[in-house]
Amino acid sequence: MKRSFNRIIFVTIAFSLVSCVNSSKASSWLPSFLCSQQANPAPQWAYYWMLLDSDTKPKDICATLWALERDPQYEGIMLIIDGYARDISSYSCIHDMILRIKKKKPVVALITGSAFSGMYLMASAADYIFAHSGTHIGDIGTQVEIQRWSDVHFEHNNYKANAKTYLFKAGAYKSLENPIAPDLTEEEMAELQRYVEAEYRTLVTSIAQNRNLDVDRANEWADGKTFIASEALKHGLIDEIGTRFEAVDKLVELMEKKQNNS
């Protein structure tokens, strides 16, 4: 006697979505289909999941997101996030692309290890954010390091010099573990600090809008501190502590809602 199954299984097919996707990342950027387990299963939902870590290239990600927004076979996107993004200006393009895409297709983010600085900025653009219980989230702030060399000379077939590094930051705890301190002219220091604070305001404003947080209380959640998942949940930086199981369930819920409203 044949048994009937109502549960859902995953069928994952590994191939590159567009030619611009780096082949080394093809195994991390996969289309996935949710199917009913029957004699001849037919896909009910198709979503695309992407791994975003410290090694991913913003240009490749943006190219893939651009193609996904226009591809009708994928109804949703899952972002698996783990890493640190220092250059907020480069990763802001991904943030802006996600905001555009989620008007058309739901996007769910799952933080599996850490999401710091620009990497969290990307996550904040999603419709819903999950995080594993032990993840580290935050380090929201900006900093600029500038190095100056003096007494440059050639010695024993190598260049040698005295190096001094200058540090500027926004977010009281952003550079808690950095031992260097600025030593420039007052004018130079003022201009660099102005730039750092302007970038910080942009970062904080974007996150506050995405997460419906009070930007006037940013010192509570964007002062450079790192939060464990339970603390991040209290601050509103994530929506729920969970795993990919819960994240996929939420994505299906959002895809169904989007379809019913269309």
- Based on the fold, state whether residues 205 and 235 are members of the same structural domain: no
What are the structure tokens assigned to 211, written together? 């997460």
If you average pLDDT over residues 51-70, what whole number do you get?
88
**In this predicted structure, which of 29-38, 145-154, 207-216, 228-237 has the lowest mean pLDDT?**
29-38
Considering the chain, what is the average pLDDT of its residues? 77
Q: What is the structure's pLDDT at 170?
A: 64
Provide the pLDDT confidence category of residue 55 given band limits of 50, 70 and 90: confident
Domain ranges, residue 146 = 141-221
- Based on the fold, state whether residues 125 and 255 are members of the same structural domain: yes
- Based on the fold, state whether residues 101 and 7 are members of the same structural domain: yes
Number of domains making up the chain: 2
Residue-wise pLDDT for 171-214, tens only, equals 654 544 444 444 566 777 788 888 888 888 999 999 999 999 99
Q: What is the structure's pLDDT at 171?
A: 62
- Based on the fold, state whether residues 121 and 249 are members of the same structural domain: yes
- In this prediction the pTM is 0.73
- Based on the fold, state whether residues 33 and 123 are members of the same structural domain: yes
If you average pLDDT over residues 27-47, what whole number do you get?
49
Q: What is the structure's pLDDT at 259?
A: 84
- Based on the fold, state whether residues 125 and 44 are members of the same structural domain: yes
- Based on the fold, state whether residues 230 and 130 are members of the same structural domain: yes
**Is the model's pLDDT at 239 over the cut of 70?**
yes
- Based on the fold, state whether residues 93 and 48 are members of the same structural domain: yes
- Based on the fold, state whether residues 44 and 129 are members of the same structural domain: yes
Provide the pLDDT confidence category of residue 21 given band limits of 50, 70 and 90: very low
- Based on the fold, state whether residues 19 and 81 are members of the same structural domain: yes
Domain boundary among 221, 236, 251: 221
**Is the model's pLDDT at 168 over the cut of 70?**
no
- Based on the fold, state whether residues 77 and 34 are members of the same structural domain: yes
**Is the model's pLDDT at 260 over the cut of 80?**
yes
Of 111, 120, 181, the closest CA to residue 146 belongs to: 181
- Based on the fold, state whether residues 2 and 101 are members of the same structural domain: yes
